[in-house]
Amino acid sequence: MSDPIPVLYVAWQDAVSRRWYPVGRLRRLADSRYEFVYVRGFEVARGAASMSPIIGFPDTSKRYVSADLFPIFKNRIMSRSRGDYPVYIERLGLTDPSPDPLLILARSEGHKVTDSYYLFPQPTEVVSPSGERRYSLSFFVHGMKYVREEARARAMSAPLHEKLFLLSDLQNPADPAAMMIRTSDNHLLGWVPRYYCSDLQELWRRTSAIELTVEHVNPAPTPSWLVLMCRVEAPWPEGFHALSAPEYEPLAESARDAGVAHGK
């Protein structure tokens, strides 16, 4: 079974406040073309931090469609001609040697040191063999450079499928909704990416059945943001919608009902 092709959101960080805003959505349509639209979070960022439109997408009310991946996103993917490309793909926890570009961006988060953009995938609704609707999400643990050295060492030695636990970080001055990840022996490994905390809090309130496990570990030396990948699964409650805040709503009316690809 192939991995589902993710819908990706684009976030932007204000250099002054350090606040992150979801500002756009990138996805593959059913006809295999790529689509980019701005979301309402861009209006929030423009009002609060004077954000300008992204290069290549000057009209914030327009739906952009292309047969090829837009350059600003394509340039965030390592060239297959590079000798270290197989290592790059392995570090991202991908088993296909030639994965879909959107899968690469979903895992790598589109990191570039030259700008303040970041990509993150929308959680997927999957159906289990028994017919149960499930919330499914994979992500690399954030903030590992801020945790203790012994916690980083513990993360690098974590066995696959080890059960992990969520911990509310209510006193976090940067984000009171933040959630940390801990082991059964109480090592604090880092944080859940901020955009998923609301989903996980609602799922916990409605199901109390969130499963968090180790999906992939990269040994040293590796960047701190690529050390530990986790997988979250939970029942998908009736009426639940992932990333349902108004800031994720497309600004372009025509983008709201367009067909989207669901697999390779």
- Average pLDDT rounded to a whole number, residues 40-67: 97
Residue 100 backbone phi and psi in degrees, to 5: -60, 140
> Do β-strands 34-38 and 64-66 pair in parallel, antiparallel, or remain unpaired?
antiparallel
Give residue 136's identity as a one-letter amino acid code: S
**pLDDT reading at 259 higher than 90:** no
pLDDT tens track for 145-187:
999 999 999 999 999 999 999 999 988 888 888 999 999 999 9
Q: Where are the domains of the chain?
A: 1-122+245-264, 124-242
Q: Which CATH class is domain 124-242?
A: alpha beta
Q: What is the DSSP letter of 209?
A: -
Burial class (CB in 10 A: 0-12, 13-18, 19+), 175: middle
Q: Are strands 133-140 and 124-127 parallel, antiparallel or unpaired?
A: antiparallel
The predicted-structure confidence for 60-117, as pLDDT tens digits, reads as follows 999 999 999 999 999 999 999 999 999 999 999 999 988 999 999 999 999 888 889 9
147: closest CA among 214, 221, 225, 200?
225
Strand 20-28 and strand 188-191: the pairing is unpaired
Q: Are 210 and 166 in contact (CB under 8 A)?
A: yes
> How far apart are alpha carbons 170 and 62 in whole angstroms?
39
- Average pLDDT of the chain to the nearest whole number: 93
φ, ψ (nearest 5 deg) of residue 262: -120, -5
Q: How far apart are CA 42 and CA 87, in angstroms?
A: 35
* 193-252 per-position pLDDT tens digit: 999 999 999 999 999 899 999 999 999 889 999 999 999 999 999 999 999 999 999 999
Residue 2 confidence (pLDDT) above 90:
no
Q: Which residues contact 15 (CB under 8 A, 6 or more apart)?
A: 116
